[in-house]
């Protein structure tokens, strides 16, 4: 009998403990649910808001009733950039420029208030977008570029570079004209736009070959074995199946334009004059690059 009473007593104690724990848990939940809001908080901007670098950010600090708190200290954490709220709880701060998208923490506090508050904002770096007037252009033709930011607004005074040439954008974000170079094959060129405070903008344009090749200016000199210029010598050039001729001047110098085609593999030069032994020299066809660049050839004639 005593054993049964002992078991009953233990069961009753256990039941009371469980009930007590449930009551305590419920009370804690209720206490958390009725906890008063912070007596100081940042109401504007919302946590996670994003802004372009260089933007001035309006921040508001309010009390438990949503009324502005005057002379609260607001600071961008990790910097000296701070300010004090006005009578309506507002203050404006302008974050420093950033090199990439950056998350900043804004902190607010005031003496006499129990709570402080932090929010995070994202500062987005400005970007340049450079767009050529055409994406494909024939060699020796003109085009221009337009530069905007990531929102499509025109960017003036941006520096745009193409093929070593520099142009600045006007108030409409447009450059002066660029001239596509002569090319020996279809070739893609880079276009770059830069301006302080912006990420660089990059684009490209395809320059199409229209002519088989552009003439190269061949200059040279014919000299004897004593390095004296030979005047009146005939210089013959065969480039890709085409023949070209020139006669040396009083100093032994000569020049002519050569337009190679795809009909041969070699450029062959010869020089001849009565009283001299003819000379012949050969070069690979790539010796003439087809992009209008000049080359120099030295030939020698030996007196008989």
3-state secondary structure string across the chain = CHHHHHHHHHHHHHHHHHHHHHHHHHHHHHHHHCCCCCCEEEEECCCCCEEECCCCEEEEEEECCCCECCCCEEEECCCCCEEECCCCCEEEECCCCCCCCEEEEEEEECCCCCCCEEEEEEEECEECEEEECCCEEECCCEECEEEECCCCCECCCCEEEECCEEEECCCCCECCCEECCCCCCCEEEEEEEECCCEECEEEEEEEECCCCCECEEEEEEEECCCCCECCCCEEEEEECCEEEEEECCCCCEEEEEECCCCCCCEEEEEEECCCEECEEEEEEHHHCCCECCCEEEEEECEEC
Same domain, 228 and 197: no
| pLDDT score for 179 | 93
Domain membership flag for residue 64: yes
What band does 146 get if pLDDT is binned at 50, 70 and 90?
very high
Domain membership flag for residue 6: no
What band does 290 get if pLDDT is binned at 50, 70 and 90?
low
Same domain, 72 and 136: no
Range of the structural domain that residue 225 is part of: 216-303
Domain membership flag for residue 194: yes
The CATH number of the domain where 226 resides is what? 2.60.40.1120
240 or 301, which is more confident? 301
Domain membership flag for residue 13: no
Which of residues 189, 208, 227 is at a domain's end? 208
- pLDDT digits over 194-213, tens only? 998 788 999 999 998 876 55
The CATH number of the domain where 49 resides is what? 2.60.40.10
Q: What pTM did the predictor assign?
A: 0.45
Count of structural domains, the chain: 3
Same domain, 247 and 225: yes
Which of residues 100, 124, 148 is at a domain's end? 124
Question: Taking 70 as the threshold, does the pLDDT of residue 134 lie above it?
Answer: yes
Which of residues 160, 190, 208 is at a domain's end? 208
| pLDDT score for 107 | 96
What band does 2 get if pLDDT is binned at 50, 70 and 90?
very low
């Amino acid at each position: 009998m005593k054993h049964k009473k002992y078991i009953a007593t233990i069961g009753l104690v256990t039941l009371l403990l469980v009930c007590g724990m449930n009551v305590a848990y419920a009370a804690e939940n209720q206490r958390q649910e009725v906890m008063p809001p912070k007596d100081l908080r940042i109401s504007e901007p919302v946590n996670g808001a994003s802004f372009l670098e260089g933007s001035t950010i309006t921040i508001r600090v309010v009390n438990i009733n949503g009324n502005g708190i005057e002379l609260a200290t607001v600071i961008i954490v990790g910097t000296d950039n701070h300010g004090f709220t006005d009578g309506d709880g507002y203050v404006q701060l302008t974050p420093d420029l950033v090199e990439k998208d950056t998350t900043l923490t804004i902190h607010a506090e005031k003496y006499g208030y129990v709570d402080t508050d932090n929010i995070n904002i994202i500062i987005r770096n400005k970007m340049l977008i450079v767009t050529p007037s055409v994406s494909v252009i024939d060699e020796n033709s003109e085009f221009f570029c337009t530069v905007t930011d990531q929102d499509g607004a025109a960017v003036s005074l941006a520096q745009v570079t193409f093929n070593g040439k520099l142009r600045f954008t006007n108030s409409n974000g447009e450059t002066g004209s660029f001239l596509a170079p002569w090319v020996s094959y279809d070739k893609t060129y880079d276009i770059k736009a830069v301006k302080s405070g912006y990420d660089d903008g990059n684009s490209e344009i395809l320059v199409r070959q229209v002519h088989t090749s552009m003439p190269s200016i061949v200059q040279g000199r014919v000299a004897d074995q004593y390095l004296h210029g030979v005047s009146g010598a005939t210089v013959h050039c065969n480039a890709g199946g085409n023949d070209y001729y020139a006669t040396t001047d009083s100093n032994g110098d000569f020049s002519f334009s050569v337009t190679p085609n795809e009909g041969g593999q070699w450029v062959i030069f010869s020089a001849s004059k009565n009283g001299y032994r003819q000379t012949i020299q050969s070069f690979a066809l790539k010796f003439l690059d087809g992009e209008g660049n000049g080359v120099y050839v030295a030939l020698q004639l030996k007196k008989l």
